[in-house]
């Protein structure tokens, strides 16, 4: 904790768990053993030691969102994200300049003062014990031998209300001077010694200091201390029989003294009159719990611990009219995968929703996004903010073309949205097969724990040209080779999206517009198209009656070109196209009178999996056997051209 906001986040998280545990313990107060009653506090201890909001998770309630909303409303800042880097207070290196800074300084001072008070009181107590007289150890040794317990040095000190163990590494048993201490009290303290209960006392004092301004934590510390004593009482009663148990309760009543109720580093049994009365009630309920109750206790602890310690991630933006909450949720439900970042940005563009972009926008852009969201004329959607002049068609969703890893934790791809109509001033080209598209190059990279999106250019309107092996209107990786009057070209594209299909029944489905910040790209699809471009004189076109190819992608940069299976007379003599799942394909185009200079030969596609996902199956080259007029013409190795550029044809 390094500022008042991280302290608030840690405090709210711990307080929610404290309230839940207090309620559960009240429900099972007389049903589960003191071992469970004390042990369940370990859940709260772990929560206090875990930085709140770790990994983008929250416990019980979305406390990070609430803290961010309060912080933004109080300071007007949106470009920061509250982090709890450590569960203990850390001093700030900067001088206080705001009210929040001064409040945090007051908190730090309180921690130091309380910690110093505990340390001083412990030092004073240890000095008082050093002035004590060595006690007659016969009764202590006899009790230890009788119950097979550890023993430590004992001293008698004037003015003590009761015996206690003091010290963790060099423990001392302190006994009241001039009073014969009952053997059962000695047994109680020796059990504290055996089970190292002084350590838990120090842990409780530590949490009191760190959370001195949280009354709920103080209440839990009192209850935990009393539960520790009740647990020790349980251990005592398990070693006593009949009348000795009733006498033990009367002994506790005589020790209702507040002097050492919270003495640090001690196991003072005299932990306050009210607490001792609760302990007497527990003694009255004493029974040896059946063996099966141990299993019940473990199950109860797991049921509580698992969701509290694991927490939950914020998955969706809240549907609320409060813009502070909306922006706070967008910052705290950040994208943990690059696929989730692409998805959040794409759905923001589809809906014209700046708050969806805030989920994956760099923190440096959050103030600008908030200003856009707070515009009075913003009616809930604003495509112009994304640079879209035309409204995209929602149902087809989006597609990320040519996803590529360009560095460690850096991915690039082309966002493609389908437009509802042709852009203003544009005419529909009836010679191509596809709708008008809005395309924008994007980069996803890591910003701390968050994946963020950086647009690499504005949206452009492009008329797509969909074919069986891809979309000629969009960028692609290209492999080319030349032979005579022809350029043989392979166009390679990949497409990806986070699955957002919501199936209502066997016949209907819809597109889920909620961003998926932790989403993954399912199966990345590849598509490839093989075609020829005629470069010769138009007068020579009549010399060609057919063109055929057999193609195979090459991987790994091997210089050895494989031998391809020859095409037979049937495939050379008819208009045909075929492809296989390994990326190989073949095709023949019968060149009729007046054929175009652009000649489609074959195309195909399929999903990528396994090792191919690392590079998304991008070949290093293509092996092609070329046939002209039904006769073998050449063996070609197509090499990659500049990838991802616009293809002119």
Q: pLDDT tens digits, residue range 78-95?
A: 888 888 888 888 887 777
In a domain, 110, yes or no: yes
Residue given tokens 């053993």 in the structure block: 33
In a domain, 582, yes or no: yes
Q: Where among 263, 289, 315 does a domain terminate? A: 289
**DSSP assignment string, 160-203:** -SS-EEE-SSS-EEEEETTS---HHHHHHHHHHHHTTHHHHHHH
Distance CA 590, CA 314 (A): 58
Least confident range of 8-17, 102-111, 430-439: 430-439
- Residue 382: is it exposed, middle or buried by C-beta count within 10 angstroms (0-12/13-18/19+)? middle
Six token digits for residue 87: 């569960």
95: Cβ contacts below 8 Å, ≥ 6 apart: 101
In a domain, 254, yes or no: yes
Residue given tokens 């060609």 in the structure block: 544
Task: Give me the pLDDT at residue 406, please.
Answer: 83
Q: Per residue in 395-410, is it b (16+ CB within 10 Å) or e — as a string?
A: eebbbbbbbbeeeeee
191: Cβ contacts below 8 Å, ≥ 6 apart: 149, 197, 232, 235, 236
pTM comes to: 0.77
Positive/negative CA dihedral, 10, 15, 16, 20? positive
Q: Is the pLDDT higher at 445 or at 305? A: 445
The model's pLDDT over 568-585, given as tens digits with 9 standing for 90+, comes to 888 888 888 888 877 788
Q: What is the mean pLDDT of residues 323-348?
A: 86
Positive/negative CA dihedral, 76, 80, 86, 92? negative
Q: Is the pLDDT higher at 611 or at 24? A: 24
When the pLDDT of each residue in the chain is averaged and rounded to a whole number, the result is 81
Q: Is the pLDDT higher at 423 or at 315? A: 423
In a domain, 261, yes or no: yes
**DSSP assignment string, 359-401:** TTS-GGGHHHHHHHHT-TT--S--GGGGT-SSPBPSTT-EEEE
Q: What is the mean pLDDT of residues 592-609?
A: 81
Six token digits for residue 122: 């412990």
Q: Where among 255, 289, 323 does a domain terminate? A: 289
Q: What is the mean pLDDT of residues 352-357?
A: 80
CA trace torsion 535, 537, 539, 540 (10° rounding): -60
In a domain, 31, yes or no: no
The model's pLDDT over 518-555, given as tens digits with 9 standing for 90+, comes to 888 877 888 888 999 999 998 888 889 999 999 988 88
The model's pLDDT over 242-271, given as tens digits with 9 standing for 90+, comes to 777 677 767 766 655 555 555 666 655 445
In a domain, 402, yes or no: no
Residue 255: half-sphere exposure toward Cβ, Cα within 13 Å: 25
Task: Give me the pLDDT at residue 645, please.
Answer: 46
Number of domains in the chain: 2
Least confident range of 64-68, 99-103, 509-513, 596-600: 509-513
Task: Give me the pLDDT at residue 609, please.
Answer: 53
Q: Is the pLDDT higher at 610 or at 475? A: 475
Distance CA 273, CA 286 (A): 20
**SS3 of 512, please?**
coil
In a domain, 30, yes or no: no
Q: Where among 273, 289, 305 does a domain terminate? A: 289
Cβ-contact 364, 382 below 8 angstroms: no
Range of the domain at 155: 100-289
Cβ-contact 641, 475 below 8 angstroms: no
In a domain, 219, yes or no: yes
Least confident range of 39-48, 61-70, 262-271: 262-271
Report whether pLDDT(318) > 60.
no
């Amino acid at each position: 904790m390094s500022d008042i906001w991280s302290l608030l986040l840690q405090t709210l998280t711990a307080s929610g768990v404290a309230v839940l545990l207090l309620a559960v313990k009240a429900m099972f107060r007389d049903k589960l053993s003191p071992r469970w009653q004390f042990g369940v506090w370990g859940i709260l201890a772990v929560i206090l030691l875990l930085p709140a909001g770790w990994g983008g998770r929250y416990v019980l309630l979305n406390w990070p969102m609430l803290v961010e909303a309060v912080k933004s409303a109080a300071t007007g800042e949106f470009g920061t994200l509250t982090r709890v880097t450590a569960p203990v207070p850390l001093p700030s290196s900067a001088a206080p300049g705001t009210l929040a800074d001064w409040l945090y300084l007051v908190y730090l001072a309180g921690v130091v003062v309380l910690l110093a008070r505990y340390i001083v009181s412990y030092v004073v107590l240890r000095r008082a014990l050093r002035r004590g007289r060595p006690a007659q150890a016969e009764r202590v040794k006899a009790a230890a031998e009788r119950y097979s317990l550890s023993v430590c040095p004992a001293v008698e000190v004037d003015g003590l209300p009761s015996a206690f163990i003091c010290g963790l590494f060099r423990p001392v048993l302190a006994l009241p001077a001039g009073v014969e201490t009952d053997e059962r009290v000695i047994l109680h303290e020796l059990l504290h010694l055996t089970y190292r209960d002084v350590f838990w006392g120090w842990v409780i004092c530590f949490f009191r200091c760190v959370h001195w301004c949280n009354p709920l934590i103080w209440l839990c510390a009192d209850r935990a201390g009393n539960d520790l004593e009740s647990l020790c009482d349980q251990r005592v009663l398990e070693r006593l029989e009949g009348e000795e148990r009733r006498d033990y309760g009367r002994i506790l009543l005589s020790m209702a003294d507040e002097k050492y109720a919270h003495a640090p580093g001690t196991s003072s049994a005299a932990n306050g009159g009210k607490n001792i009365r609760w302990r007497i009630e527990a003694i009255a309920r004493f029974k040896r719990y059946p063996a099966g109750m141990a299993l019940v206790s473990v199950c109860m602890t797991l049921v509580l611990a698992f969701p509290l310690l694991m927490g939950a991630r914020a998955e969706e933006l809240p549907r609320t009219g409060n813009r502070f909450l909306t922006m706070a949720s967008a910052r705290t439900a950040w994208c943990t995968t690059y696929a989730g970042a692409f998805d959040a940005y794409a759905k923001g563009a589809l809906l014209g929703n700046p708050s969806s972009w805030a989920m994956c926008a760099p923190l440096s852009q959050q103030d600008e996004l908030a200003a856009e969201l707070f515009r009075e004329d913003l009616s809930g959607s604003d495509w112009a903010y994304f640079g879209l002049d035309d409204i995209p068609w929602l149902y087809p969703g989006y597609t990320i073309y040519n996803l590529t890893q360009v560095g460690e934790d850096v991915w690039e791809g082309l966002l493609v949205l389908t437009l509802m109509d042709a852009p203003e001033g544009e005419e529909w080209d009836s010679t191509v097969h596809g709708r008008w598209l809005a395309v924008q190059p994007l980069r996803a990279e890591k910003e701390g724990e968050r994946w963020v999106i950086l647009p690499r250019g504005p949206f452009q309107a492009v008329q797509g040209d969909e074919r069986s092996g891809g979309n000629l209107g969009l960028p692609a990786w290209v492999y080319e080779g030349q032979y005579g009057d022809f350029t043989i070209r392979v166009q390679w594209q990949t497409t990806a999206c986070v699955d957002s299909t919501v199936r209502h029944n066997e016949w209907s489905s819809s597109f889920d517009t909620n961003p998926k910040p932790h989403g993954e790209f399912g199966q990345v699809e590849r598509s490839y198209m093989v075609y020829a471009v005629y470069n010769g004189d138009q007068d020579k076109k009549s010399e060609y009656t057919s063109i055929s190819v057999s193609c195979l992608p090459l991987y790994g940069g091997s210089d050895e070109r494989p031998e391809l299976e020859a095409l037979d007379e049937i495939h050379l003599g008819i208009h045909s196209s075929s492809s296989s799942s390994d990326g190989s394909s073949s095709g023949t185009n019968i060149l009729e009178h007046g054929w175009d200079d652009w000649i489609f030969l074959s195309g195909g596609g399929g999903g990528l999996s396994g090792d191919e996902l690392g590079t998304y199956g991008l070949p290093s080259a293509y092996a092609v056997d070329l046939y002209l007029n039904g006769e073998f013409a050449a063996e070609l190795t197509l090499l990659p051209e500049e990838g991802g550029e616009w293809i002119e044809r």
